[in-house]
Amino acid sequence: MAMVKRLQEILDSSGVKYEVTPHREAYTSQEIAAACHVSGKAMAKVVMVKRGTGFVMAVLPAACKVGVDRLEKIFGTSGITIAREHEFAGLFPDCDTGAMPPFGNLYGLEVYLDEELANHQRIVFQAGNHQELVTMSYADFSRLVQPKVAEFCSHA
């Protein structure tokens, strides 16, 4: 399976440099990072968060967990929950379940990015499938996605 078409189109039409790295099939971001010899701190994972009736894309290092209490402070609302795959699968019809790239803007979603990722020069993420990673500069990613950068990673 190739990279999701809408992702490839935005990358190519924006003229950004990126690399696609195939990897053996893996499902958790930590497994993928290990398979590709990428630091779990530089590998971005996407966690879908429910805020009211809508969804928000939270992007954080593979080695972290979402600090729901921190997101509630950032959003200024309580009752934030981590969405289950069956709840949001329909939002990403062109992606393998759970392998969506951190380009929420391509799917009409707000993107919140943990500041730990913003401190890296490069960002590595799934290409919409369970067999490929995309690596690109953080500056280009930030310009294309315009994520809201905040601190919500929990190492607990």
Q: Name, in order, each residue with C-beta under 8 angstroms of 9's C-beta and a sequence gap of 6 or more.
A: none
Average pLDDT of the chain to the nearest whole number: 91
pLDDT tens sequence across 129-152: 988 999 999 999 999 999 999 999
124: number of Cβ within 10 Å: 22
Q: For residue 144, with 0-12 CB atoms within 10 Å meaning exposed, 13-18 middle and 19 or more buried, which class applies?
A: middle
Tell me the fold of 18-154.
YbaK protein (3.90.960)
The per-residue pLDDT for range 44-53, each reduced to its tens digit, is 999 999 999 8
Claim: this prediction has a pTM higher than 0.85: yes
Domain-by-domain residue ranges, the chain?
Answer: 18-154
- Evaluate if residue 34 carries a pLDDT over 80: no
- pLDDT at position 42 is 74
Alpha-carbon distance of 63 to 60, in angstroms, equals 8
Encode pLDDT of 78-118 as tens digits: 999 999 999 998 999 999 988 999 999 999 999 999 999 99
Share of the chain above pLDDT 70, in %: 96
